[in-house]
Chain A
Amino acid sequence: MARLPEYQGKALFNRKGIPVPEGRFVQSADEAMNVVHELGFPVAIKAQVLSGRRGEAGGVLFAEDRDSLSQAVAELLGKRIQGSPVEGLLLEERAEVQRELYMAVTADPSTRQPIAIFSPKGGVDIEETAETEPAAIFTTPIDILRGFYYYDAMDLLRQGGDLESRQMLTLANLFTRLYQVYREYDCKLAEINPLALVVQGAMALDARVDIDDDALARQTTLDIDFAEEAGERAATLLEIAAATIDEKDHRGTVHFVQTDPDASYAKTTGKIPVGLDAVGAGTGLTIMDELVPLGYYPIDFCDSSGNPVGSKFYRITKVIMAQPHIEGYLFVSCVSSQQLDNAARGIIKAFKELYPRSGGRPNIPCVVVFRGGWDDVAVELFREHGISDGRWIKVLGRDTTEKETAEIFGALYREWKKETGGL
């Protein structure tokens, strides 16, 4: 999923005729002062981060004059919201809101089709409304072959209750345009929250647009850094680097996401940050479940699939090892049909380049577990290349469980820490 920042989402809305407040993206106080000449006061100053609950985190301020604008820009630029640095702001004219509503089109995994969602309760998280007031959420499935028409939207809005007929006409028109955004830009979610009723009609005060990253190759106009699922933050440089591995080569995939990019979560919870590569996402989750109670926190999640070529394992191993905070590394395969000797060669080549003086023997605790196709060859390759003889590496085979893997890693880490004091 590639989430667009609000200002880019609103640009897509604009292209499809969904009204948005007049606004500009700025990255400095000087730019803000220039822009406000065009917009006039009052203005809203909105931090452009991808995380939710931005308002609650102090990411939206208002200014009535140049002094308060200057103060707001200084306060927001450089601030961190949910761990993401604020590098840009959206300066917008402040709308006179009569009422806030909610409108979205998303994919419904249970029916495997798009679904239109409307709620008269806008401005709060839809998840919160679903918990506190589920009767205030109205939905209708969309037949993707037939499309979503004006009258479909009217039917849905009518369920919402107390809207005036003129408002319903405006909103139905807007709903069909939101569906056009969803379809045309290969969205997983196109959401307006809040959707404001204003004197002139209706206006999208916020925009949440998540693009399906499998469709990015054809969404060339969006200028999105290709990246794997990164949640509610922008992709990191390392994630962007990892995503390029699959870009030119269709033979198997490697998915890499940093679960704790600066290891701050691991450190504040007293856990040891480690790097993780798993064959099979389920195995990745299971090994995390075993590691965390023992005090080790994988600061990345990496899963390979579709029998990747050895060069992909080589590159992804270098990516994982490039995380400066890791104090250990694990490679764990499920009992897979993947050709694990390919994985082994990739890791061996990477280790030999990263640790040239020791012949590929790592200086941090490493556990590699091969279970599945060609696992015996994989284990033998590590022995043959002399890496298994390394003090801080254990190479294990198909008789090892995830629980044992975590325990073996823990014992190795404690020994390493005691002897070396760490790095």
Chain B
Amino acid sequence: MPIRLLLILALLLPLTAQASHEKAGTDRGEALYRQHCAACHGYDGNGGVGVPLALPDFQYSVTNKFLETTIRMGRPGRIMPAFSSLSDEDIKAIVKYIRRWAPGKPFRYPVEPVRGDRERGRQLYAKYCAACHGPNGEGGKGTGVTFSRPRDLPIIPPALNNPGFLAAASDQFIKATLMNGREGTPMISFLKQGLSEQDINDLVVFVRSFEQNPLPIEQRPIETEEATIVYDSEYDFQTTINNIKDAAVGNNFIIIREQKLETGFVPKGQENPKQHIIYFCNFGFLNKALAIDPRVGLFLPCRVTVVEKDGKVKVYAINPARLSRLFNNVELNRLCLEMNETYQSIIEDATL
């Protein structure tokens, strides 16, 4: 009897080990998800700055490869970062965890590429897709589902010309999305809208052709190296401060605060008096920037620091063009370049 029991236990052992291994994998996936994904996609996958991953129709229609490639490559310039430092095992663990929200097997797609008429696809795209996905596949504007500020859509239409999307999405995946739509989002079934399967094939071929075109310059991250703008002032310390304030007001900003660099760290009156910060703001500009990406608070408020050291007066500010790369959001490019020019203009007016 004990021998039989031992045999049964020996047979069960691998199953227990496998179950324990699987549980460890899911726990690891959960830990990784909480660390890297939950901030944008929510702990329960309901979305936020990022898209809602728990949407059942999304879960059933995307393959593991789609999810894995998306995590690995991200969506360049479209907020979702590339997690290039995660191992393949880490990524698989995250995908396994994400899959827990909709148990069941995801749809399997044939591997054959879709064949169709690209030119017809272009015409159909302009008629049926461009309104949401942009005339060149650049996607909708905004930052996922965040209820911090009003949004027109529960999900932002993806950028179909994005290299990350094109690498992750197979032809058959795009075709199925067009044929079936995606429940819970504004993406409708174009089969139900009266398009034929051939029309949809033509559309897929056109979307795939985005791969052959380099991203337009406005959809690429800003290339700049220096994180700080520095100017030498030709004026004395106090005159430079006054000039900065005048220049900021002249550029439609309101001075909201002045303080020393050490304010809040030493008792009042004991701060180094030759390190002066001027904070200013244009609330209309700020509101516009936050509507594009709620994380830009990191830039805020606008600030210039005037420092006198060894008899020389220098002026320092962040370089918004450099910071914009951190957000992986090309929609911010224009505002960041504009802000960079404004900083340069204010500081040049004040120092030269």
A and B found bound together: no
Interface residues of B (CB under 8 A from A): none
